[in-house]
Amino acid sequence: MWHECDDSPAPAAEQARGYEDQRISLRASLHHIGALTRRNLMRIKADPESMIDALLMPIMFTVIFVYVFGGAVSGSQTNYIQYMVPGMLGQIGLNLAMAVGTGLNTDFTTG
């Protein structure tokens, strides 16, 4: 039995409705994504070297690992590409995660 005092827990239905009201709508989420994208593009505009670095690193690693070290590691370059591509995708994902984390940290600290 529920008592009419402030410290009693809310019924489950009311509590569930409260959680639904706290969710961010799709429109608000897209607005936040757009704002973060705009801020990061402005940061890249101020420092274009970071974008060049992000574009050239995968190309440079592919050339180095396939054409320079590929034959030495597995005997042929075509066999090594099957092992290199998943590793490169993982490395690109980690670099992207680091860039997003650094951007968010800079955004939080500088405002």
CB neighbour class for 43 (10 Å; exposed up to 12, middle 13-18, buried from 19): middle
The pTM of this model reads 0.52
At 5-62, the pLDDT tens digits run 555 555 555 555 656 667 889 999 999 889 888 887 887 788 778 777 777 887 888 8
Q: Would you state the pLDDT for residue 10?
A: 55
Give the SS3 label for residue 9. Answer: coil
- Distant-in-sequence, close-in-space partners of 71: CB < 8 Å, separation ≥ 6: 77, 80
Other CB atoms within a 10 A radius of the CB of residue 62 amount to 15
Q: Would you state the pLDDT for residue 96?
A: 79
